[in-house]
Amino acid sequence: MFRKIAAVYPLSRLRLLVWFTGGEAKEYDMSRLVNEVPAFAPLADEELFSQVKVDAGGYGISWNDRIDLACNELFDNGCEVDILEREKARLLADVARSRKGIGLSQGAAGEASGASQPVIARMETGSVAPQLDTILKVLGPLGKTLHVVDLDEITR
C-alpha cells in the first residue's frame, strides 16, 4: 500500500517533515543516507537539501533528476510526529506560564479578558480545546499574542 505524500518541509540537520494524505506527519532523518549512500551525498549541501519537493502524484519526493525517495520509505522509516497535539500543549502551557509570570490569578485574567475563571482553568489544563478568539482574548491582558513561526524552530 502506498502512503501518498501531501507536503514535505526541509528541517535543519538533514531532517524532513513529511505530511501524508490523511493527516499523518513523520520526521525522516536523511543523515544516514547522506553519509552512507554516495547517491545522497550531494544533499549535505543545505541549499540543495532545501529544494526538496513532492513528486507528481505524491508517491515520492525528489531534489533533482538523480536524487529521490519513495513515499513508503519515508512513511515506514520516519518517526511519527503529532505536531497538532504538541503545539497545542505548548501554547496552553505558555498561556499559563505568562499569566503566572505577571502575577495574575485565573480570576483576574478572566476579568481582564472577558473569559470566566473556569474557562481559563480548563484552557490551561488542556481539558478543552479553546477557540482561537478565546486564546487571543486571554493573551491580550497578558501582553502576549500569537505568532506564526517556522516549523524548524519548533522541531529542533
Q: In what order do the strands lie in the sheet with 79-80?
A: 5-11, 15-20, 25-29, 79-80
Residue 62 domain flag: yes
Mean pLDDT, residues 77-85: 89
Residue type, 28: Y
Asked if residue 56 has pLDDT above 80, the reply is yes
86 pLDDT tier (thresholds 50, 70, 90): confident
Per-residue confidence (pLDDT) for residue 150, from 0 to 100:
81
Q: Count CA atoms closer than 13 A to 25's CA, side-chain side.
A: 15
Kindly state the cell numbers that stand for 23.
493527516
Whether residues 22 and 47 share a domain: the answer is yes
**Burial of 98: CB neighbours in 10 Å, binned 0-12, 13-18, 19+:** middle
Number of domains in the chain: 2
Distance CA 138, CA 124 (A): 11
- Domain range holding 96? 83-145
**pLDDT bracket for residue 10 (50, 70, 90):** very high
Average pLDDT of the chain, as a whole number? 92
Does 76 lie in the same domain as 25?
yes
Tell whether the model's pLDDT for residue 154 goes beyond 70.
no
Query: Within this chain, do residues 76 and 28 fall inside the same structural domain, yes or no?
Result: yes
Q: Which of 62, 80, 98 is the last residue of a domain?
A: 80
Give the closest residue to 143 by CA, choosing from 116, 115, 107, 103.
103
Q: Are residues 75 and 89 in the same domain?
A: no
Does a structural domain hold residue 109? yes
Residues in the chain: 156
